[in-house]
Amino acid sequence: MSGTTPRQQWLAILARASRAEIESLAGGLGALPDHDVLKAPETGTVMVEGRAGGAGRRFNLGEATVTRCVVRLGDGTMGFSYALGRDGRKARLAAVIDGLLQGEGEAGPLRSGVAELATRQQAARTLASRKAAATKVDFFTLVRGA
Amino acid sequence: MYVAVKGGEAAILATHDLIAEARRGNEAVPELAVAQIREQMGLACARIMNEGSLYDPDLAALALKQAQGDAIEAAFLMRAYRTTLPRFGSSEPVDTAQMAIRRRVSATYKDLPGGQVLGPTYDYTHRLFDFALMDGASPVAVPAAAADLLDATMPRVPDILGAEGLMEAEEPPEGDPRPFDLTREPVSFPADRDVRLQAMARGDEGFMLGLGYSVQRGYGNSHPFVGEVRVGEVSVEFVPEELGFAVDLGEITLTECQMVNQFNGTKDVPPQFTRGYGLAFGHAERKAMSMSLVDRALKAREFGEAAEYPAQQDEFVLYHSDNVEAAGFVEHLKLPHYVDFQGELELIRRIRREREQRLAGEIQETQVQETQDTLPEAAE
């Protein structure tokens, strides 16, 4: 997403992280802070929309599974998690992390943990792009009847 | 009319155990893990996600395992599971121009911005068995990685023609309306393009392929070029009401096909190229290409073309493309129809009885006539 807020960016990074990565991020805090689960992890769907021709009329492509969770930290901050898939544990931890990140300065430990995840995700994208680039092709058109 | 039956519980329970045993196969062979299917049967999983109309690679792999690899049965499992889930809402329309491209080819332009990227494809393989795969533990070659990345974004090929004014414009209708959802509302005909695209996206790949092929062979007016096929990852964004801003839910793999077709023009429209569009979950090129062929064929009415063939008739295509519905109606014939059949049996016996009586009556009449007839040849 371009032109996004820091919170949108970390939500995107958390959504792409594996459960193990989120657990490791949360594990770095020691014990999880006290929090109320306002909306227990719930799996549902989001209808994915496309556009005819890529830019035209909207249409429903099909649904995708999504799991969400909402928590409230002791100081009243609300933490959210919305991510593709059906992982309730990841959703709850990510919601707590979202809550904590909102109260943390830019040099905080969670911020740097999220930055590490972002670096790893970017590296994976870069490698995929370089591998695809190795299959770039120039076909030559033969002259007919030559 | 179908008359319900009851009973058979013990036999049905026994068949559940028997199918589980058949599914497992020889227990001396290790059981498949769902993660293995997800990772190593990715193209099959993509098909299940499309026809099951639910993006979730883990569930698609589970469906394939549970259905013993029967694609339609697996799609049915996905559809059934989907109905148990609440729907949080609709995503923002995905932006395929922002796709992280792994494959992108065009049959219309050799040199195009961003280049031709073969990516992972069987297109240029020899279709010879690789017996190393039979032995397992075959070492995987490490693919080469170029020093430079692909362009971050690549223009969609029809948009290049569009810039020249040679391509049918593709713009949202006034007000960019919410799309029709055939999972929630009954379809009526003629169906608009959003309905058609949704139905085709969840349609059977084989059926769509056959229809697309029929269009190419002359059962529909189509002379297409692949403007572009692209495969890669796209972010899905969703605006939860309670947050009020777009949340990036992660990435899904999509395959998009833009078919470029000739159009001779009409009194009002100059000759130009027209579009056929296909979009599918996962890496699913054959599906996206077939869909784009039929999408163009179904625009016959919009372009004032005669709709003479199946692929041009929305009612035919939409009513027969859903393999879960089609399989249900075809396969329900296996279920007990004893009462219906007894009725038919009774009917056909009665008709035969009446026919025999009628014939017997006619013979008598003929005999009466014959005795009255003086012409000897009439007795033959």
* pLDDT per residue as tens digits for the range B326-371: 999 999 999 888 888 899 999 999 999 999 999 998 887 777 776 6
Interface A:B, Cβ pairs < 8 A: 243
Chain A interface includes B290 (CB < 8 A) = no
**Which residues does chain B have within 8 Å of residue A16's beta carbon, measured at their own beta carbons?**
250-251
Strand partners, B256: B230, B279
Question: What's the token pair of residue B61?
Answer: 């792999």
Burial B5-22 (b: 16+ CB within 10 A, else e): eeeeeeeeeeeeeeeeee
Element (H, E) at B316: helix B314-320
**CA B160 from centroid of its chain's CA atoms:** 29
Report yes or no on A120 lying in a domain. Answer: no
Alpha carbon distance B194, B214 (integer Å): 23
> Which segment of A33-47, A132-146, B93-107 scores lowest on mean pLDDT?
A132-146
Q: Bigger pLDDT: A143 or B224? A: B224
Q: What pLDDT, on the 0 to 100 scale, is given for residue B379?
A: 42
* pLDDT per residue as tens digits for the range A34-74: 999 999 999 999 999 999 999 999 999 999 999 999 999 99
pLDDT-based confidence at residue B155 (cuts at 50, 70, 90) = confident
What's the domain count of chain A?
A: 1
* Residue of A1, A18, A51 to mutate when probing chain B, most B C-beta within 10 A: A51
Report yes or no on A36 lying in a domain. Answer: yes
Report yes or no on A137 lying in a domain. Answer: no
Q: What pLDDT, on the 0 to 100 scale, is given for residue B371?
A: 66
Nearest to A94 by CA among A121, A67, A75, A76: A67
- Contact in structure between A141 and B110 (CB atoms under 8 Å): yes
* Residue of B196, B248, B252 to mutate when probing chain A, most A C-beta within 10 A: B248
* pLDDT per residue as tens digits for the range A98-114: 999 999 888 888 999 99
Does the distance separating the beta carbons of A1 and B53 come in below 8 Å? no
Report yes or no on A94 lying in a domain. Answer: yes
Write the ipTM: 0.94
Does the distance separating the beta carbons of B171 and A46 come in below 8 Å? no
Report yes or no on A124 lying in a domain. Answer: no
Q: What pLDDT, on the 0 to 100 scale, is given for residue A10?
A: 97
**DSSP 3-state of B268:** coil
Report yes or no on A144 lying in a domain. Answer: no
Looking at residues B305-326, what average pLDDT do you find? 95
Which residues does B49 contact at the CB level (< 8 Å), separation at least 6?
A: A62, B55, B56, B57, B60, B78, B281, B282
Looking at residues B153-174, what average pLDDT do you find? 86
**Which residues does chain A have within 8 Å of residue B260's beta carbon, measured at their own beta carbons?**
none
**Which residues does chain A have within 8 Å of residue B35's beta carbon, measured at their own beta carbons?**
none
Mean pLDDT rounded to a whole number for chain B = 92
Nearest to B119 by CA among A131, A140, A126, A139: A131
Residue A57: give the domain boundaries.
6-114
Predicted model pTM: 0.92
**Which residues does chain A have within 8 Å of residue B242's beta carbon, measured at their own beta carbons?**
70, 80
* AA letter at B10: A
Report yes or no on A140 lying in a domain. Answer: no
Report yes or no on A35 lying in a domain. Answer: yes
Alpha carbon distance B149, B154 (integer Å): 12
* pLDDT per residue as tens digits for the range B237-272: 999 999 999 999 999 999 999 999 988 777 777 888
How much of chain B, in percent, has pLDDT values that exceed 90? Answer: 72
Looking at residues B38-61, what average pLDDT do you find? 98
Alpha carbon distance B248, A126 (integer Å): 19
- Contact in structure between B340 and B2 (CB atoms under 8 Å): yes
What is the four-CA torsion angle of B212, B214, B217, B218, rounded to 10 degrees? -110
Q: What pLDDT, on the 0 to 100 scale, is given for residue B377?
A: 53
Say yes or no to pLDDT of B373 above 70: no
Strand partners, B279: B256
Does the distance separating the beta carbons of B202 and A49 come in below 8 Å? no
Q: What pLDDT, on the 0 to 100 scale, is given for residue B380?
A: 41
